[in-house]
Amino acid sequence: MQSKWLKIFLIITGLLLVSGEVFAQVSLPSVNLGFKSTSNPNEVVSSIKILMILTILTLAPAILIMMTSFTRIIIVLSFVRQALGTQQMPPNQMLVGL
């Protein structure tokens, strides 16, 4: 009997605690994706620097993998797999994991 009242009390308390957040309205942030003209060359240079840094950071992992022997090992293992006549054994994920 006491367990039943405890459950009811906890449910009502939880609903009362959460009821304020349910009716709260969150304003959406405004996003402006337009281009504006500028007379300050430093703003243009800084945006180009950011673009170049992001490009380098994006391509860096692929360049590092291509410079190591990882690709050669994977190619040789795929040739061995084809020479043995097994198309998908071991799977590609297992070869890369080795």
In a domain, 86, yes or no: yes
Assess if residue 71 is contained within a domain.
yes
Give kind and range of the element (H or E) at residue 1: none
Residue 15: pLDDT over 70: yes
Q: Domain containing 67: what range?
A: 62-98
For residue 89, which phi and psi values (nearest 5 degrees)? Answer: -120, 120
pTM of the model: 0.37
- Residue 46 located in a structural domain: no
pLDDT band, residue 1 (cuts 50/70/90) = low
In the chain, DSSP finds a helix count (H) and a strand count (E) of 4, 0
pLDDT digits (tens, 9 = 90+) for 36-95: 777 777 777 777 888 889 999 999 888 887 787 777 787 787 788 878 777 777 776 676
- Is residue 88 included in any domain, yes or no? yes
Give CA–CA dist 21/17, Å, rounded.
8
In a domain, 74, yes or no: yes
Least confident segment among 11-25, 28-42, 47-61: 28-42
Q: Report yes or no on 51 lying in a domain.
A: no
- Tell the burial category of 5 from Cβ atoms under 10 Å away from its Cβ (0-12, 13-18, 19+): exposed
Question: How many distinct structural domains can be found in the chain?
Answer: 1
Residue 7 resides in a domain: no
